[in-house]
A and B are shown apart, each in its own frame.
Chain A
């Protein structure tokens, strides 16, 4: 009995110990609750909210890019896409896909991809079935909407360039945000999936202004990311529009005037410097880039020998050839080396030291005054003049007329060209200037390089009476009056007379390019520049005809022109790459462009 009592006694005693332990452990739990729910409440309340609320940026519509008359060159169009929300589908998803496949012309690969996407995402996530639906597809789906719950048509905005290749230069295009874009900018919009930013041209330069200000949508989500309800919505602001000086009608006409030829043309308003057209051919359809260009299309553009991706109007550098004679003439007139009566005899060649310089006309032009020399594009006249004038004065006049300069057009890859002088050669080539180099510079060959934009600017500065206009693509609210270049009006008149004769004079180099509009005359100057060097041997055996050479060895053809002759308003510079002859190929293009400009009467 005593032993039994001992068992009971220890049972009672120890059960009290365990009971106390139980109570103690319950208090430990209470203590923990206090720590989490009272002491750390703030921390966890914030964490709970950050779990629960999510914010999505609302992409504002991108500003449009307009031509001078308000025609949209880059705009946003509605883009319809068909989406499928798997969990809302009643019945069999496969059956639904089979039903809509013929309507949306889905291939079996498309359907396989869609099914893969469906299994990969949560069932409330909309899966893209097809992008860029056309009206027929949209209306068919809409009509039968009731048959397919879960199939929705979503509309978004997509960048669109209605004039396609006509405006790819200089407007450029938008594209997806790259890794590098993200490193360069921390703008939150860039993080939005599917957001597009300017990748080239004005779309890139004015990207931030065009982009607009993002809105935001705050909403409650559950653990799977499903949106439960909207909390707050802040509207964004549409991007600013960009108004260009281009007239799309002229732009189109200029582009089409090239036909199959590769080249560039720039049309300026000679009084304001506004760029009325700037084309580079061939071009490309900028819309191809918006949704990511296919490898095939990209390769086609990249490896095309006519370089459609390069904006030749500002990035193409060519020897100006005979068009440069206008600059040399003005410099010589100002220096008093020549006047209207000065005359040189052209025998077809000129000897300097041991070297013979040839005129393009083998048997020479005979006696030439300045006007004749321009009209006939006599090389000997300008060899002699340049030699007497010296390279420094030629270079100085070139710079005054805008050659060898950039204009801050807001485009990438705007090239400066080359206007050589003694200092330039010493620095660049580490050798001293040769007199022979002055001679060939006199006819715009040798080191001299200009862009079509520069050449148009040079011509505009001459024919506007000597005002330092600067080309611009952007419409200015209040234009400053350009500075005068202090050119003698008599000199300008003389040069204009020469250019008038080129087109209208009997035997002028470009008489075939006369304007067909009654009573309106134009003036201009041809230029042909060698792409390859003609060797002595070849000269002896007879120079090969350009037509016999492969395309890439043919001469470049220039023509610059202005109209109307008596009161110039438009200046145009046209280069046709490997076009062989300025008069034969480039001049008709320039004349077509000017005719169109006059017909349009651009204001």
Chain B
């Protein structure tokens, strides 16, 4: 009985801080360090304009993560629905602004910070779905009726993001949501029907894609189609990567990157730049460190209190989100997926992504910090 009481006891701030998983934090710091180092090389051996900025942002991100981790998990449960609706509202604002002659925008300018509602939605949708599924019975989840509401929860923001237009993010949200549906226990055959339906609708969807999106897909399928235009990025990225070989050309010595043949070398294509200088060995290090981070995510989900179904769902959802970032980015720069403009989190230059990824790590840690007690709904 004493043990049970202990399990439900609230932890004080100090206890919560020392309950953080520090190995996890060290690994993501190593990845951020690799990012800064690569940005230093991308700038031709200077800490400006990118490496220093990125370091500062990562430190801010660390702060955000710790704060998010110190917040009690109950808070996330409580704000899930209002947060989701608020984010949906922001998406609508951006869409309407974009369609009333103010130009296609994906962000709201807050002066010091450009807020991307679609970025927030990745988080909001995970929280909202987790909350929904945690309150459903097993039977409800297995029934058709039970998945109509979550389908709407997903479909509306995905549609909003799609018309921004931001194909990459909307697909990421969709994949992440699909993973949560699957984890909740939705039957295989329902996925089969959904996939079949999408396949049947694909020609119609193709018709609705913007020309640049069609181009990206066509160019991905055949980069030589337009070697000076859209295919240039993929071809040059492959040359950078391939010429790096097993061990790379050495730090600060990537010819493709330093002579500017490699496009977007400090943002989306940073993995290619790193692999040119450090070869396949370097690439495997990045993949391996990310795999450890993801494995930790699964371990956290497994480890927290069995009654905290919401927490497990949130951890798995955010973890899948992170995995999708890493996988899609690397797959696209090495020519396995179309170039859809997804950065490599922790390494690519860019403030929004680093803060949002660190915030999601903070939420994951929040559940892990309170791993031994029940969630008080």
A139 at the interface (CB under 8 A from B): no
Contact partner, A36, options B137, B236, B242, B284, Cβ 8 Å: B242
**Given A11-B183, A37-B275, A48-B255, also A222-B245 (CB < 8 A):** no
Residues of A within 8 A of B302 (CB): 12, 15
Binds B, one of A25-33, A74-82, A210-218: A25-33
Residues of B within 8 A of A51 (CB): 236, 239, 255-256, 259, 261
Q: In the complex, which residues 1-43 of chain A have their Cβ closer than 8 Å to any Cβ of chain B?
A: 3-4, 6-8, 10-12, 14-15, 18-19, 22-23, 25-26, 28-30, 32-34, 36-38, 40-41, 43
B291 at the interface (CB under 8 A from A): yes
Contact assessment for A19 and B298 in the assembled complex, using a CB-CB cutoff below 8 Å: yes
B238 at the interface (CB under 8 A from A): yes
Contact assessment for A26 and B287 in the assembled complex, using a CB-CB cutoff below 8 Å: yes
Residue of A nearest to B255 (CB): A52
**Given A7-B138, A25-B327, also A30-B256 (CB < 8 A):** no
Contact assessment for B331 and A29 in the assembled complex, using a CB-CB cutoff below 8 Å: yes
Least distance between B311 CB and chain A CB atoms (Å): 11
Contact partner, B336, options A7, A18, A28, Cβ 8 Å: A28
A19 and B291 alpha carbons, distance in the complex (Å): 10
B179 at the interface (CB under 8 A from A): yes
A106 at the interface (CB under 8 A from B): no
A142 at the interface (CB under 8 A from B): no
Residues of B within 8 A of A38 (CB): 245-246, 280
**Given A3-B138, A29-B330, A52-B259, also A8-B306 (CB < 8 A):** yes
Contact assessment for A32 and B238 in the assembled complex, using a CB-CB cutoff below 8 Å: no
Residue of A nearest to B185 (CB): A10
Contact assessment for A15 and B298 in the assembled complex, using a CB-CB cutoff below 8 Å: yes
Contact assessment for A48 and B312 in the assembled complex, using a CB-CB cutoff below 8 Å: no
Contact partner, B280, options A15, A34, A224, Cβ 8 Å: A34
Residues of A within 8 A of B280 (CB): 33-34, 37-38
B6 at the interface (CB under 8 A from A): no
Contact assessment for B179 and A29 in the assembled complex, using a CB-CB cutoff below 8 Å: no
**Given A14-B183, A15-B316, also A23-B334 (CB < 8 A):** no
Contact assessment for B320 and A18 in the assembled complex, using a CB-CB cutoff below 8 Å: yes
**Given A30-B284, A48-B240, A220-B259, also A36-B334 (CB < 8 A):** yes
The digit string for B233-250, where 1 denotes a CB below 8 A from any CB of A, is: 000101111111110000
Interface centre among A19, A32, A223 (most CB of B within 10 A): A19
Least distance between B137 CB and chain A CB atoms (Å): 5
Contact assessment for B246 and A37 in the assembled complex, using a CB-CB cutoff below 8 Å: yes
Contact assessment for A26 and B291 in the assembled complex, using a CB-CB cutoff below 8 Å: yes
Q: In the complex, which residues 319-357 of chain B have their Cβ closer than 8 Å to any Cβ of chain A?
A: 320, 323, 327, 330-331, 334-336
Residue of A nearest to B312 (CB): A11
A18 and B259 alpha carbons, distance in the complex (Å): 41
Least distance between A23 CB and chain B CB atoms (Å): 7
Contact partner, A32, options B137, B245, B295, B336, Cβ 8 Å: B336
Residues of A within 8 A of B287 (CB): 26, 29-30
Least distance between A569 CB and chain B CB atoms (Å): 69
Contact assessment for A48 and B309 in the assembled complex, using a CB-CB cutoff below 8 Å: no
Contact assessment for A8 and B309 in the assembled complex, using a CB-CB cutoff below 8 Å: yes
Contact partner, A40, options B242, B255, B294, Cβ 8 Å: B242
The digit string for A42-58, where 1 denotes a CB below 8 A from any CB of B, is: 01110110011000000
Contact assessment for B260 and A222 in the assembled complex, using a CB-CB cutoff below 8 Å: yes
Residues of B within 8 A of A11 (CB): 183-185, 309, 312-313, 316
A264 and B131 alpha carbons, distance in the complex (Å): 106
Q: In the complex, which residues 235-287 of chain A have their Cβ closer than 8 Å to any Cβ of chain B?
A: none
A189 and B139 alpha carbons, distance in the complex (Å): 81
Contact partner, A22, options B256, B323, B330, Cβ 8 Å: B323
Least distance between B233 CB and chain A CB atoms (Å): 12
**Given A11-B184, A14-B185, A28-B336, also A37-B239 (CB < 8 A):** no
The digit string for A572-586, where 1 denotes a CB below 8 A from any CB of B, is: 000000000000000
Least distance between B235 CB and chain A CB atoms (Å): 8
A589 and B103 alpha carbons, distance in the complex (Å): 84
A602 at the interface (CB under 8 A from B): no
A318 and B174 alpha carbons, distance in the complex (Å): 93
The digit string for B254-295, where 1 denotes a CB below 8 A from any CB of A, is: 011011110000000000000100011001100100110011
Least distance between A193 CB and chain B CB atoms (Å): 21
A52 and B184 alpha carbons, distance in the complex (Å): 53
Residue of A nearest to B240 (CB): A48
Residue of A nearest to B279 (CB): A37
Residue of B nearest to A220 (CB): B259
Residues of B within 8 A of A14 (CB): 182-183, 185
**Given A15-B316, A33-B280, A37-B244, also A7-B261 (CB < 8 A):** no
Contact assessment for B242 and A41 in the assembled complex, using a CB-CB cutoff below 8 Å: yes
Residues of B within 8 A of A36 (CB): 238, 241-242, 334-335
Residues of B within 8 A of A10 (CB): 138, 183-185
A221 and B256 alpha carbons, distance in the complex (Å): 11
Contact assessment for B261 and A32 in the assembled complex, using a CB-CB cutoff below 8 Å: no
A29 and B331 alpha carbons, distance in the complex (Å): 7
Contact assessment for B306 and A29 in the assembled complex, using a CB-CB cutoff below 8 Å: no
Least distance between A3 CB and chain B CB atoms (Å): 5
A28 and B330 alpha carbons, distance in the complex (Å): 11
Contact assessment for B334 and A29 in the assembled complex, using a CB-CB cutoff below 8 Å: yes
Residue of B nearest to A222 (CB): B259
A36 and B298 alpha carbons, distance in the complex (Å): 31
A228 at the interface (CB under 8 A from B): yes
Contact assessment for A44 and B291 in the assembled complex, using a CB-CB cutoff below 8 Å: no
A3 and B139 alpha carbons, distance in the complex (Å): 8
A39 and B231 alpha carbons, distance in the complex (Å): 22
Residues of A within 8 A of B275 (CB): 33, 37
Residues of B within 8 A of A220 (CB): 259
Contact assessment for A48 and B284 in the assembled complex, using a CB-CB cutoff below 8 Å: no
A6 and B136 alpha carbons, distance in the complex (Å): 12
Residue of A nearest to B307 (CB): A4
Contact assessment for A37 and B185 in the assembled complex, using a CB-CB cutoff below 8 Å: no
B141 at the interface (CB under 8 A from A): yes
Least distance between A508 CB and chain B CB atoms (Å): 80
B301 at the interface (CB under 8 A from A): yes
Least distance between B16 CB and chain A CB atoms (Å): 25
Residues of A within 8 A of B284 (CB): 30, 33
A221 and B280 alpha carbons, distance in the complex (Å): 26
A121 and B302 alpha carbons, distance in the complex (Å): 60
A8 and B306 alpha carbons, distance in the complex (Å): 8
Q: In the complex, which residues 28-55 of chain B have their Cβ closer than 8 Å to any Cβ of chain A?
A: none
Residues of B within 8 A of A48 (CB): 239-240, 242-243, 255-256, 261
Residues of A within 8 A of B309 (CB): 4, 7-8, 11
Contact assessment for B294 and A22 in the assembled complex, using a CB-CB cutoff below 8 Å: yes
Q: In the complex, which residues 467-516 of chain A have their Cβ closer than 8 Å to any Cβ of chain B?
A: none
Contact assessment for B185 and A7 in the assembled complex, using a CB-CB cutoff below 8 Å: yes
Least distance between B334 CB and chain A CB atoms (Å): 5
Contact partner, A37, options B242, B320, B323, Cβ 8 Å: B242
Contact assessment for A221 and B243 in the assembled complex, using a CB-CB cutoff below 8 Å: no
**Given A223-B259, A223-B261, also A44-B185 (CB < 8 A):** no
Contact assessment for A37 and B283 in the assembled complex, using a CB-CB cutoff below 8 Å: yes
Least distance between A317 CB and chain B CB atoms (Å): 57
The digit string for B107-119, where 1 denotes a CB below 8 A from any CB of A, is: 0000000000000
Contact assessment for A47 and B243 in the assembled complex, using a CB-CB cutoff below 8 Å: yes
A–B Cβ pairs within 8 angstroms, 19 of them: A3-B137, A3-B138, A10-B138, A14-B185, A15-B298, A18-B316, A26-B291, A29-B327, A29-B331, A33-B280, A33-B283, A33-B334, A34-B280, A36-B335, A40-B242, A47-B243, A48-B242, A52-B256, A224-B260
Known A11-B184, A26-B287, A51-B261; further 8 A-B contacts with Cβ < 8 A: A7-B185, A7-B309, A10-B184, A14-B182, A30-B284, A36-B242, A51-B259, A224-B260
- Listed in ascending order, the chain A residues whose CB lies under 8 Å from chain B are 3-4, 6-8, 10-12, 14-15, 18-19, 22-23, 25-26, 28-30, 32-34, 36-38, 40-41, 43-45, 47-48, 51-52, 220-224, 228
Closest 8 pairs between A and B when the two form their complex, measured CB to CB: A44-B242, A48-B243, A222-B259, A223-B260, A37-B280, A10-B185, A44-B243, A223-B261
